Chains A and B, each alone.
Chain A
Amino acid sequence: DAGVIQSPRHEVTEMGQEVTLRCKPISGHDYLFWYRQTMMRGLELLIYFNNNVPIDDSGMPEDRFSAKMPNASFSTLKIQPSEPRDSAVYFCASSPLFGREAWVRADTQYFGPGTRLTVL
């Protein structure tokens, strides 16, 4: 089975540019998550979707960040304009379920390989 697919794997851009990160979840998974990982803050949940609908975006740091899921097999995380402090590894994850109903079944999140973003 193909796992979670993310593109690009590496992105280097200049401050002020728009950046779009892409994610294809595992087929059949109803939940999709975007995480940001930095040395200082560790793994932070930015936003998650259920059946393509954003459920909790309280982790999105600023209005410069936006995420969409137009269909069950594709999601984007956009940063506009980008800033050097946005440099991080961005992970997408998906799961068939989320919450306690999932955890009693040990259903969990499957992470993609990540996109390493560097903003100069």
Chain B
Amino acid sequence: QQPVQSPQAVILREGEDAVINCSSSKALYSVHWYRQKHGEAPVFLMILLKGGEQKGHEKISASFNEKKQQSSLYLTASQLSYSGTYFCGTDRETTDSWGKFQFGAGTQVVVTP
């Protein structure tokens, strides 16, 4: 099943904060975050691994709650450059070397001056 992202869209002013969530009904091994600007390709932001390890972006932070199987991406003191659609990708915890990788539907973020 595809991970569920919320909210679908958020509009915020420059300098404001926002939180984007990504949830799964299945146990996850990892959550990947990407950002896609209009008309461009998705660009990798970070990976969160089961066990709490986090790798990626310096200015954007995220968390992974293993009990809830939910990841949250925190856009703090947002900048105009943060505008875009944010996708989470998830890898389910299975007995295989890795589970099926799927992207959520995306959260559109618009940062206004």
Instruction: Out of B41, B44, B47, name the residue touching A91 (CB < 8 Å).
Output: B41
B106 within 8 A of A: yes
Chain B binding surface SS class: strand
What's the nearest-Cβ distance from chain A to residue B9, in Å? 13
Which residue of the partner chain A has the closest CB to B45? A108
Q: How large is the interface on A (under 10, 10 to 19, 20 to 34, 35 or more residues)?
A: 20 to 34
Known: A42-B2, A42-B105, A43-B103. A108 touches B30 (CB 8 A): no
Count: A-B pairs, CB below 8 Å: 52
A41 vs B102: C-alpha distance when bound (angstroms): 11
In whole angstroms, what is the CA distance A12 to B2 when docked?
30
Query: Is A2 at the interface (CB under 8 A from chain B)?
Result: no
The complex places the Cα of A108 from the Cα of B89 at a distance, in Å, of: 11
Q: Which residues on B sit within 8 Å (CB–CB) of A103?
A: 30, 32, 47, 49, 55, 91
Q: Which residues of A contact B98 (CB under 8 A)?
A: 98-100
* Chain B contact residues, CB within 8 Å of chain A: 2, 29-30, 32, 40-44, 46-47, 49, 53, 55-56, 87, 91, 97-98, 101-106
